[in-house]
Amino acid sequence: MYVMSARHLSMSDTQEILERLRREPTISVPDYGQLIGVSRASAYVFAREGQIPTIRVGRRVRVPSAAVLRQLGLDSEPHATASA
């Protein structure tokens, strides 16, 4: 198992990506890689192997922000429940 780390990012870079995670529905695969401290190529390998959830939009591959926030333990909003 690969240990994920954000040690390669400055605090301001990390804060910017986290703010985008809360603001935008998806982030790019390279941004995901930066956030967890791996190369762009490694992030795309994780996406291709299904190790991270992705959404394909045309030729673009995006990572759902909600999934990343949950993965990082930063999803503080309660989950909505469907009512019939």
Q: What is the mean pLDDT of the chain?
A: 82
Helices (H), the chain: 11-23, 29-36, 40-48, 65-71
Query: How far apart are alpha carbons 24 and 21 in whole angstroms?
Result: 6
Pick the closest to residue 66 from 49, 54, 56 (CA basis): 54
Paired tokens of 72: 């990082």
- The mean pLDDT value for 44-59 works out to 94
- More confidently predicted of 47 and 80: 47
Strand order in the sheet with 55-57: 26-28, 60-64, 55-57
pTM confidence score: 0.71
Instruction: Give the pLDDT confidence of 7-47 residue by residue, as tens digits.
Output: 456 778 878 888 888 999 999 999 999 888 899 999 999 99
- The mean pLDDT value for 55-75 works out to 91
- The mean pLDDT value for 55-81 works out to 82
Domains and CATH numbers, the chain: 11-71 (1.10.10)
Q: What percent of the chain has pLDDT over 90?
A: 49
Paired tokens of 33: 């890689």
